[in-house]
Amino acid sequence: MARQIHLIVVGKLKDSHLEAIEADYLKRITNPDLIIHEVKASAENKEAEGDAIIKKVKEIGGGHLIALSEWGKKYTSVAFSEWFSGILERSPRVILMIAGAEGFSSEVLKLCQERLSLSELTFPHKLARIILVEQLYRAQTIRTGHPYHN
């Protein structure tokens, strides 16, 4: 099975400037490709969002699940690249998830093997999505020795 990276996000990006930035990074991420899945946001109902996330995970076929969370592990870019490379070597399918404003349901968190934090800072979901996509590209360039990280 070919390696796959999936990103499940609650809600749509809805900003042409951010969409353009994301599209640029998505073109650059090649080994493996990153596939983004948007699930419907539910106003202040993280259980409904959790059900939608779990349904999407099942449609994808499962994999190594990583929830983005303020309580997750924090890495430098180089350490993130090494950590993520290790996961890609062990698991043919990695699924990263960004919850809605209310966070993840307990059911989603029970399924996760890991939790990842992008920073001590809190970001709007749209920016967290862009930051994660950029860091995935950066991790790829670190793995391949490309000068982007310098």
22-47: per-residue pLDDT in tens? 999 999 998 898 999 999 998 778 99
What pTM was estimated for this model as a whole?
A: 0.94
User: Mean of the per-residue pLDDT values for the chain?
Assistant: 94
Q: CB 142: neighbour CB atoms within 10 A?
A: 20
Q: Which helix (H) or strand (E) holds 130?
A: helix 125-144
Cα–Cα distance for residue pair 64/102, rounded to 1 Å: 23
pLDDT digits (tens, 9 = 90+) for 112-132: 999 999 999 989 989 999 999
Greatest pairwise CA separation for the chain in angstroms? 43
Task: For residue 5, give every residue at least 6 positions away whose Cβ sits within 8 Å of its Cβ, in sequence order, or none.
Answer: 29, 32, 33, 34, 35, 88, 94, 96, 136
Topology (CATH level 3) of domain 4-149: Alpha/beta knot (3.40.1280)
